Chain A
Amino acid sequence: MKLNGRALFSCLMAGMLLVLMTGCSSDSASSGSNAANKNQVEIFSWWTGAGEEDGLKALIALFKKKNPEIEVINAAVAGGAGTNAKTVLATRMQGNDPPDTFQVHGGAELNDSWVAADKMEPLNDFYAEQGWKDKFPKALIDLVSKDGKIYSVPVDIHRGNVLWYNKKIFDQYGLKPPATFDEFFKVADTLKSKGVTPLSLGDKEPWTATQLFENILLGKLGPDDYDKLWKGQVSFDDPRVKDSLVTFKKMLSYTNQDHAARNWQDATQLVGKGEAAMNVMGDWAKGYLTNDLKLKPNQDFAWAPFPGTDKTFVVITDTFGLPKGIKHPEATRKFLAVLGSVEGQDAFNPLKGSIPARLDADPGKYDVYGKQTMQDFRSSTLVPSLAHGSAAPEGFVTQFNQIINTFVTQGNVDQAIQMMKQDATANLATK
């Protein structure tokens, strides 16, 4: 009896498993055939915020005008500054259900992940076909290439090394935006003596502090060695890294006391409202200052490159590529063609508040900040941002954020260097 029971039990188990398995496989097969509609393109992004969503919609509208027969599926995932979207994307890619095209920051976020995993089609022929090779800056093409193969199309550019300041406060005390670190501390001391918080910071999410620190590193090391630092070619033992940490620590002593309770918007708001004088943030802050706080550029607030980084441009670029094994490669190519065109970039970027990645776009469509930044973009050395996943793999960045978070409170320079070295050994591919 007992033996029989056991046999029956195992039979049933096997049966159930079989049912479960066939259930799963038939499911995926049917969804696959349903979606194999030729006239579709699914666009995956995390553009759900005010300006960026408008930009995406304008882009889709333009695409539909040109390709009325193709249906566009806007698969945007909200939340977490892209973290949620990246998690969803990873699941879909690993399950061999890639979206037709997806948003990804140029640099390590693209190259060390999807390209390294052999999930992306090279686009060299496509670029040649569209005549794009000289339309984007070479350094930008390099950022979306690996081993000479181009893997995505950049649509927008944000700058990471911008110092925002409250124009009224600066005018009131006769101050000029600082161009060097010495000037910065002089200005900061003046402001402090007048009872104004010199620098606002909101590092509730640690990337903002990392972003401030990467700008200091850039100012101290210069663009070449800054870049080499993330490639493992300049060591964290370099005295300039130590100098950067010391400067960083000094800078932190000029920030608002409650910085750990604020996110970046709260910190930018302090400058907008005149409660602090300066803030270091990527130029999405401009959209926040003008659209949300209704402030006027060059009147209420103004900007300058971060001290010591005048002729460099920390680039954060959103790009879209062509994953392998997608259902609608033809429609996707058509979408990428619109995305990379002057028309497409000029439809998207003015609404998002970014500048176009192409060099031949129409400056007349952009505001005063945009026009000036387009100039700078052309004439500056481009370097990738660490805080936004372009300079180094995500694994290195998350660890680096932790080191910075600890350093902001404890201020232990030697310990920070030690941990950065460990992080580099564990997570940086030394090429």
Chain B
Amino acid sequence: MAEAQTVSTVKKGRHREKWISFLFVLPSLIAIFVFVYGFIAWTGYISLTKWNTFLKDLSFAGLANYRFLFADFRFQSDLRNTVVFTLLFMAVCICLGLFLAVLLDRKRKGETLFRNIFLFPMALSFIVTGVVWQWIFNPSTGINLILKQLGVDDPPLWYVQTKVIPDLHLGQLHVGLPLALIAVIIAAAWQLSGFTMAMFLSGLRSISDELKEAARVDGATEWQVFRYILLPALKPITFSAIIILGHISLKIFDLVYAMTGPGAAFVTDMPGLYMVETTFKGSHYAQGAAIAVIMLVLVSLLIIPYLVLTFRKEESL
């Protein structure tokens, strides 16, 4: 009897605890529902209306805004730029980050110093990076002055370059890598390679020395240790790096805004820039909302597989 009572009070206590913890997260839950999901829904709704004038017009337009965007030269360029930028930016950051991490992992003298030097750009805001690299890559005043001193007669035009290679035509769009984006990719990679390095370094440090030693004792070369021990062990880290870098580059705005703007013929334009301009300068609210929805879909394409994978892992644990 007494025992049964204690069991029930313990149960009650547990229930109460559950409720109290629920109460604590409730305000933020509500806030998230209203301010995140609520506004996502609102944006989705606006993107289906005719509100492309200064005066609010919420009459239904169907997919007209989306149709307009996908036929629009600027938005087509934006999509091309986003894809090219994201792929190259991630590739450069991951290769460079991994390289630096492996170098630092040698535990030589001065490691802390170099680690901080490599990490430091991350502390800057994208706006600062953008302004500085804008000066560096300015074709008439920046790095080209050095190149000219070194005897390069025809230095690159950097972000002023309007060429796209290979110049495949798809309607009026030039499909390929806009050369002007290379300057932006260098700036972005400069800022975030250090961060990627830090991620890889922590990954490398979590691999036990014994494992590496064992491989070496078995006669593995340094390359083989890297290829067959380190790389497979770094897979989850690489995956996280892709997610983090990918969502930064898909949503990039400030760096491009400060560094190049949309660029001639939109060679460095990004959906974020277009969205802000068309919404707040041009009062094309519905069009801006449609761009926002498309950006959300792009990020989801990256994030959802990641979430699915992590959930599966948690379940299997």
Q: Which residues of A contact B280 (CB under 8 A)?
A: 83, 86-87, 90
With both chains docked as a complex, state the minimum distance between the C-beta of B288 and any C-beta of chain A, in angstroms: 11
Known contacts A113-B54, A406-B266; A394/B139 CB under 8 A = no
Known contacts A16-B30, A258-B138, A393-B54; A409/B264 CB under 8 A = yes
Interface residues on A, range: 35 or more
Is B278 an interface residue, CB under 8 A from the partner?
yes
Inter-chain contact A260/B55, CB cutoff 8 Å: no
Inter-chain contact B283/A394, CB cutoff 8 Å: yes
Cα A426 to Cα B278 with chains together (Å):
14
Inter-chain contact A409/B262, CB cutoff 8 Å: no
Q: Which residues of A contact B26 (CB under 8 A)?
A: 12-13, 16
What is the interface of chain A mostly: helix, strand, loop, or mixed? helix
Known contacts A12-B23, A16-B26, A406-B73; A395/B283 CB under 8 A = yes
Cα A151 to Cα B52 with chains together (Å):
24
Cα A116 to Cα B280 with chains together (Å):
18
Interface residues contributed by chain B, number (CB under 8 Å):
35
Cα A117 to Cα B57 with chains together (Å):
12
Q: Which residues of B contact A257 (CB under 8 A)?
A: 139, 157, 160
Inter-chain contact B157/A258, CB cutoff 8 Å: yes
From B287, which residue of chain A is reached at the shortest CB distance? A395
From A263, which residue of chain B is reached at the shortest CB distance? B261
Q: Which of A16, A116, A258 contacts B140 (CB 8 A)?
A: A258
Q: Which residues of A contact B138 (CB under 8 A)?
A: 258, 261
With both chains docked as a complex, state the minimum distance between the C-beta of A46 and any C-beta of chain B, in angstroms: 14
Is B159 an interface residue, CB under 8 A from the partner?
yes
With both chains docked as a complex, state the minimum distance between the C-beta of B141 and any C-beta of chain A, in angstroms: 9
Cα A90 to Cα B159 with chains together (Å):
34
From B15, which residue of chain A is reached at the shortest CB distance? A1
Interface residues in B1-35 by Cβ distance below 8 A to A read 19, 23, 26-27, 30, 34
Q: Which residues of A contact B213 (CB under 8 A)?
A: none
Q: Which residues of A contact B261 (CB under 8 A)?
A: 204-205
From A87, which residue of chain B is reached at the shortest CB distance? B280
Cα A158 to Cα B53 with chains together (Å):
28
Is A112 an interface residue, CB under 8 A from the partner?
yes
Inter-chain contact B74/A402, CB cutoff 8 Å: yes
Is A206 an interface residue, CB under 8 A from the partner?
yes
Known contacts A112-B54, A405-B265; A16/B27 CB under 8 A = yes
Q: Which residues of B contact A205 (CB under 8 A)?
A: 261
Inter-chain contact A405/B281, CB cutoff 8 Å: no
Cα A106 to Cα B164 with chains together (Å):
41
Inter-chain contact A261/B281, CB cutoff 8 Å: no
Inter-chain contact A394/B282, CB cutoff 8 Å: yes
Inter-chain contact B264/A116, CB cutoff 8 Å: no
Known contacts A113-B54, A257-B139, A395-B53; A13/B30 CB under 8 A = yes
Is B162 an interface residue, CB under 8 A from the partner?
yes
Inter-chain contact B55/A398, CB cutoff 8 Å: no
Q: Which residues of A contact B264 (CB under 8 A)?
A: 203, 260, 405, 408-409
Inter-chain contact A409/B139, CB cutoff 8 Å: no
Is B263 an interface residue, CB under 8 A from the partner?
yes
From A82, which residue of chain B is reached at the shortest CB distance? B281
Inter-chain contact B27/A261, CB cutoff 8 Å: no
With both chains docked as a complex, state the minimum distance between the C-beta of B271 and any C-beta of chain A, in angstroms: 14
Inter-chain contact A261/B282, CB cutoff 8 Å: no
Is A397 an interface residue, CB under 8 A from the partner?
yes
Cα A206 to Cα B277 with chains together (Å):
12
Is B80 an interface residue, CB under 8 A from the partner?
no
Q: Which residues of B contact A206 (CB under 8 A)?
A: 262
With both chains docked as a complex, state the minimum distance between the C-beta of A379 and any C-beta of chain B, in angstroms: 34
Q: Which residues of A contact B284 (CB under 8 A)?
A: 395, 398
Interface residues in B116-151 by Cβ distance below 8 A to A read 134, 138-140
Inter-chain contact A17/B30, CB cutoff 8 Å: yes
Inter-chain contact A260/B263, CB cutoff 8 Å: yes
From A12, which residue of chain B is reached at the shortest CB distance? B26
Residue from A205, A398, A409, A410 with most neighbouring chain B CB atoms (10 Å): A398
With both chains docked as a complex, state the minimum distance between the C-beta of A134 and any C-beta of chain B, in angstroms: 32
Q: Which residues of B contact A8 (CB under 8 A)?
A: 19
From B261, which residue of chain A is reached at the shortest CB distance? A204
Q: Which residues of A contact B282 (CB under 8 A)?
A: 394-395, 397-399
Is B172 an interface residue, CB under 8 A from the partner?
yes
Is A425 an interface residue, CB under 8 A from the partner?
no
Is A180 an interface residue, CB under 8 A from the partner?
no
With both chains docked as a complex, state the minimum distance between the C-beta of B169 and any C-beta of chain A, in angstroms: 12
Known contacts A12-B23, A204-B261; A260/B160 CB under 8 A = yes
With both chains docked as a complex, state the minimum distance between the C-beta of A263 and any C-beta of chain B, in angstroms: 9
From A400, which residue of chain B is reached at the shortest CB distance? B282
With both chains docked as a complex, state the minimum distance between the C-beta of A300 and any C-beta of chain B, in angstroms: 22
Cα A8 to Cα B26 with chains together (Å):
12
Q: Which residues of B contact A204 (CB under 8 A)?
A: 260-261
Instruction: Render B196-223 as a binary contact track against A, CB cut-off 8 A, 1 for contact.
Output: 0000000000000000000000000000
Is A298 an interface residue, CB under 8 A from the partner?
no
Cα A337 to Cα B284 with chains together (Å):
35
With both chains docked as a complex, state the minimum distance between the C-beta of A17 and any C-beta of chain B, in angstroms: 7
Is A233 an interface residue, CB under 8 A from the partner?
no
Q: Which residues of B contact A83 (CB under 8 A)?
A: 280-281
Interface residues in A356-412 by Cβ distance below 8 A to B read 393-395, 397-399, 402, 405-406, 408-410, 412
Is A415 an interface residue, CB under 8 A from the partner?
yes
Inter-chain contact A405/B262, CB cutoff 8 Å: yes
Instruction: Render A8-47 as a binary contact track against B, CB cut-off 8 A, 1 for contact.
Output: 1000110011001000000000000000000000000000
Cα A116 to Cα B53 with chains together (Å):
11
Known contacts A397-B282, A405-B262, A415-B172; A116/B55 CB under 8 A = yes
Residue from A12, A203, A259, A405 with most neighbouring chain B CB atoms (10 Å): A405
Q: Which residues of B contact A406 (CB under 8 A)?
A: 73-74, 265-266
Interface residues in B36-68 by Cβ distance below 8 A to A read 52-55
Cα A113 to Cα B266 with chains together (Å):
28
Cα A402 to Cα B172 with chains together (Å):
14
Cα A116 to Cα B55 with chains together (Å):
8
From B27, which residue of chain A is reached at the shortest CB distance? A16
Q: Which residues of B contact A393 (CB under 8 A)?
A: 53-54, 283
Cα A405 to Cα B52 with chains together (Å):
21
Question: What are 9 A-B residue pairs whose CB atoms fall within 8 Å in the complex?
Answer: A86-B281, A261-B140, A395-B53, A395-B282, A398-B284, A399-B282, A402-B73, A406-B265, A409-B265
- In the complex, besides A83-B280, A204-B260, A395-B284, 20 extra interface pairs with C-beta distance below 8 angstroms are A8-B19, A20-B30, A87-B280, A90-B280, A112-B54, A113-B54, A117-B55, A258-B138, A258-B157, A260-B263, A394-B54, A394-B281, A397-B282, A398-B277, A405-B264, A405-B266, A406-B74, A408-B264, A410-B265, A415-B172
5 closest residue pairs by CB, A with B: A398-B282, A409-B265, A260-B264, A113-B54, A409-B264
